[in-house]
Structure 1
Amino acid sequence: MAFQYQQLAQQLAQKIYSGELAAGQRLYALRQFSQQHQISLNTAKRCYELLEAQGLIYARDKAGFYVQQPLGAQNAIALPLHPDFQPNVREVSHLELQIQIQQAAIDSKLIHLGSIQLSPNLVPVDALRRSIQRALKHSKPEDFLYSDRQGHITLREALSNHWAEDGFYIAPDQIYISNGCMPALSMVIQSITQAGDSIIVPTPNYNGQLQLLALLKRKIVEIPADTSGFDLQRLEQAMRDSGAKACLLTANFQNPLGFCLSNEEKEQIVRLAEKYQCLIIEDDIYAECGFQAQRPLPMQYWDRQGYVIYCGSVSKVLSPSYRVGWFCLPQRLQHLHALVLTQHVAVNTPLQLGLADLIYSRAYRQHLQPLRRKLQQQVEQYRQFIAECFEGVEIGLNHPQGSYALWLQLPKQINSWEMYIYAQQHGINIVPGLLFGGEQRYNSCIRLNAGHEMSDDIRQAIRLLANWVRRQCAEAKRVSCLKI
C-alpha cells in the first residue's frame, strides 16, 4: 500500500496536471495542510518534498510553496473531443486492415510512430543479462525439464511479492504465466466466453484488443470514452441491458487516451460487476508506466467476490520482445484451472527465472523510477513539437497521465486511412484512428508512439505529416469555395 504522503502527493499532482491548481498558485502552509488532512506535520512535509522532487511545486524563501508549471504547459494544447453514443452490440470492423497495419508496425525500416513500444535504449539490457546469467547459474536440474504450465513458482511468488509492495495482493496459486499480455487475454476470453458472445469495451480502444476479439469471433458493446475516462452510466447500462458476458477494461493509462481512473471509479466499476454478475478482464499492462512515483492500484484491489481477472506483462516497461505476461484467476473461477492448463502453452523457463531474479534483486524496481521520468519527458517533448508543427491547424491532443501513447485529433476533413497510406509511402508508421472503434467515429484521429527518443528523423516525420494535413485542409477549403 502507498504511504499516505504518496497518496496525497498523487492527488495534488493530478490537480496540477488537470489545471485545477494553476501555475504560481500558493499552496497551504505545511501546518494548515496537515490540519486539513488530519495528518502529522512530518507527513505533510514529505508530501511536499515528493512534489518538489517531481518538479511540480517549488518553495520560496519564507513565503511557502507554489505550483510549478508542468513541463510543456507553456503552450496549451486542446484536448480531443469525443462523440457520445449509445451502447450497441456489433461485430468488430476492419479486421483485414487491423492485421495489415499490425504487420507494418513491426517493420524495422519504418520510423516507429505507430506501435507502442520502448526504444531499445531504454531497455535495461545489462541488468537483464546479469539476471538471466544468475538464474541459469543457480537453476536446478528440474528447471531443464518440461515446466509447470501454470508458470514457474519462483516467478509467481516474485510477482506476488512485487505487487504486494505496491499495495495489492494476489496469491501465487492464482497467477498463470503467459507468453505476453495478448496471449493472456486470449486465454481468458476463450475460457469465460464463447464465439458469438458480447464483450463490453470503451472506445476509442486499443486496436490490438479489437483485432483479438474479431479473430475470436466475439462481438463488442462499445461505450464512450474520452481523455478523462469512460462513461460509467453507459457501462452500467451495457452491463444491465446488452447481455454481455464480460468487460475488457484498462483503468490505468488506457491505450490510446492515457487516462487513469480514480480509486472511487475503480471501486464503483467492481461494485457494478458484482451487481450485474459481469466479469471484468482487467488489462493493466501500462500500470508501471505512470509519471508518478507510486503505481496506481488496479481494479482488482477492490474485488472481494472474484469478478476481476487481472492481466498484464512486462512488455511496456522492459521490452516487447521479452514475452512474459500473466493472468490471474480469482477463487470464483478456479474451476477453470484444468481447462486452462490443457490449453495453455508453457513459457520459456530461463526467461521466467531471469525475470524473477530481476525482481528479487531489486533491479526491476530500480529500473522503473528513472524510466517513468524519462517517459514523462519524452511525452511532453512530443506534445510540444506536435503543437509547434501543427500551429494554425485545429487539432486536439491527449495529455496522458502515464504510458507513451499519443492520440491526435485532426480536422474533420482529414481521412486517417489516407494519412496512413501517405505516411507509409514516406517510410513512416502510424496507426489510423478508424481502427479504434466503429462507425468511423475516430476517422480523423491517429495514434502516435512516444516511446522512442525524439530524433531528427522523428522530427522530420512529424513535420511531413503536419504539412500533408495543411495541404489536405487547403484543398478541402478550395473545393468548398468552388461549390459555393
Structure 2
Amino acid sequence: MAKYQQLVKSIIEDIRDNTLVANTKLPSLRQLAKQHEVSISTAVNCYHELESQGWIIAKPKQGFFVRSMDLGVAQPEFKQFDSYQTSPRRNKTPYRANNGVLGVTCMPIDNGTISELDRCFIRTLKRYSLKTNRYPDPIGEQRLRKAVSSHFCKKGFPVDHNHLVITQGAMSAINTALKIIAKPGDTVAISSPCFSGYMDLLVNLQLKVIEIPSNKDGIDLKQLEHHLQQGNIQIGLFSTTFMNPQGITLSVEQKQKLATLSAQYQTPIIEDDVYIELSHDRTMPLPAKYYDKDGYIIWCGSISKSLSASYRLGWCLSGRYFSEFSNYYSASSRGVSQQIQNAITEYFNTGLYDKYIRRQCTNLSNNMYQYRHYLNHHLPKLIKMSNPNGGMTLWIEIKNHNAEMFSQLVNTNQLDIREGSLFSSLPIYDNYIRVNIGYPIEQAKEQLALLVKLIKASQRA
C-alpha cells in the first residue's frame, strides 16, 4: 500500500470513530507532510483522494475540512413484527424501454470505459476467432472462472474456480438454485423489505414466503432460527451486503451466525451479492459464504450492478449443491455467450475491471451525499432517509404520505420511481420509496425536482 493510501486509511478511521468530527479543520499540506514525514506530493495525493471519496472538502483560502456526512437526517423506521407465511405478490411496475435515472438500480458507463470494453471485445475476437463457432463451456469458460476466482482471492475471499459456474446474471443463478432445491408450495425465508425482483421469481415458482424483519445489524436472526427449528422454512434467500432497498449490510457476527444456522439446520441459504463490490470506502466486506464450512450457502454474484446488466453475466459458488446446480444449469441454458465471456475475462485480467470499480465506488459515495443533501434541503420535515456506506439505493420513509395519490401522480407524470409496496408481500411499506443514486446528480436533478413536487402534492391533510 502506497504511503498516501496509508494516510487516507488512517484519516478515514479517525473520521469514522469520531476522533475527527464534522467541520474539523485538517492540517495544511505542509503540516501534514511534516507530521507524517512524507513529501508534499504524498500529502497532496492523500487529500485529493479523501476529497474524491467525499470525506473532506476544500474551502478556498481556508483549507481542508472534514465533511458532515449524516446531515442530521433520521433513519427510516425498521418495521418489527412476528413473521408468518404469506404469498408473494407480483411486481406491477410496467416495463420501460428507457428507464428513468431514479428507478432501476444502475450506473452510467463513461465513454472511456466503453472504449476499453470495445478494445477487449476486438482483441478477444481476433485471438479466439477459430473457436467462435462452437458452444461455450456449459459451466463457463475456464479462463473466466479463473479470472473471477483470482479477482476475489485478491480481496480476501478465496474462490475455487473449479466449483464456480458462470451464469446469465445473478437472477439466473438464484432461479437455478431455487429449482434444484425447492418444489411448489415450499416456503422461502426472505428479508423484509427485500428486492422486488424476488417476488416475481417466487410467484413463478409457486413458492410461499416468510418475511424476516430487518434491523440496523441486518435481519432478525432469532425469528429466522425459530422458523428453522419449527421446520417452517425449506430455503433462505437473502442479500447480505448493501441490500436492496435499505442499503444495510449484515454485521460480521450476523453473517457468521447465518452460516452457522444453515449448517445446524441443514437448510440451504442463497446469498445474493450483486452489490458486494460497491463499498463507498472501496473496501469489500466478506460475504456470509466466507464463513460457510459445510457448503449450505449458495453464493451468487454478477457484473450487472458493478459494470453493466446488458452483458447478462454472473456466477455461482454452490457449495455442496455443485453437481445438481451445474447439471441443471448446463441442461437448461447451454452456457453463456462465449464472446462476452472472453471479453470480460480480458477486462478482468488487464486490471481494468478493478480500476473501474474503484472509480465507481468513489462516484457512488459522492452521489449518495449529494442526493441526500438535495432531498433533505427540499423535504426537511417530510422524510427519513437511509445512509448506507455502499450500493446505490436510498430508502426513504415519507411522513403523512397518501400512497394512492402519490402512485397516481407518478403514473400521470411518468416518473420512474420504486414505491415501497413493491418490496414486500405485507402492506407495511406504503409510505416508503426507493431511489437509485447511480447517476451523477446533474443528470438527476430534473427527476428529483419532480419527485419532491409529487411528494409534497401527496401529503395527507
Give the TM bin, normalised by the shorter chain. 0.7 to 0.9
More divergent stretch after superposition (371-380 vs 462-471):
462-471
Amino acid of the structure 1 residue aligned with 2:22: A
- What's the CA shift string for 1:136-188, capped at 9, x where partnerless? 12116334301111111111111111111111122122111111111111111
Q: Over the residues paired in the alignment, what is the CA RMSD in angstroms? A: 3.2
Give TM-score, length-normalised by structure 1: 0.82
**Would the aligned equivalents of 2:7 and 2:46 in 1 still touch at CA under 8 Å?**
no
Distance 1:330 1:387, change over 3 A: same
**CA 1:467–1:57: 2 relative to 1, 3 Å:** closer
For residues 86 and 21 of structure 1, the distance between their equivalents in structure 2, rounded to whole angstroms, comes to: 41
Matching of residues 84-123 of structure 1 within 5 Å: 84-93=80-89, 95=90, 98=91, 100-101=92-93, 103-104=94-95, 106-108=96-98, 111-121=100-110
TM-score (norm 2): 0.86
- Number of matched pairs: 437
**Uncovered stretches (5+) of structure 2, i.e. residues with no partner:** 27-36, 57-63
> Aligned runs of 1:157-306 on 2, under 5 Å?
157-306=146-295
Cα gap change, 1:242 to 1:463, in 2 (>3 Å): farther
Structure 1: runs of 5+ lacking an equivalent: 28-40, 59-65, 478-484
Counterpart Cα distance in 2 of 1:222 and 1:175: 29
Q: What amino acid maps onto 2:432 in structure 1?
A: C
Moved more, 417-426 or 254-263: 417-426
Shift of 1:292: 1.6
Mapping of residues 34-433 of structure 1, within 5 Å: 53-55=49-51, 68-70=66-68, 72-73=69-70, 75-93=71-89, 95=90, 98=91, 100-101=92-93, 103-104=94-95, 106-108=96-98, 111-121=100-110, 124-139=113-128, 141-331=130-320, 333-393=322-382, 395-415=383-403, 417-433=404-420
Question: How far did residue 454 of structure 1 move?
Answer: 1.5
Q: Name the amino acid aligned to 2:143.
A: T
* Deviation at residue 69 of structure 1 after TM alignment: 3.3
8 Å contact kept, 2:244–2:393: yes
Given that 2:136 and 2:334 are in contact with CA atoms closer than 8 Å, whether structure 1 keeps it comes out as no
Aligned-residue sequence identity (percent) comes to 25
Q: For residues 289-341 of structure 1, give each alpha carbon's deviation from its aligned partner in whole angstroms, at most 9, with x where no partner exists.
A: 11122211111111111011110110112112121111122145434443332
Structure 2 counterpart SS, 1:406:
strand
Q: For 1:248 and 1:10, locate their aligned partners in 2 and report how far apart those are by CA, in whole Å.
A: 34
Residue 57 of structure 1: CA displacement? 7.2
In 1, Cα distance between the equivalents of 2:6 and 2:213? 29
Query: How big is the shift at 1:86?
Result: 1.2
**Aligned partners of 2:112 and 2:402: how far apart in 1?**
36
Q: Once structures 1 and 2 are overlaid, which stretch shifts more, 333-342 or 367-376?
A: 333-342
Question: Alpha-carbon deviation of 1:89?
Answer: 1.3
CA contact (8 A) 2:193 2:214 kept: yes
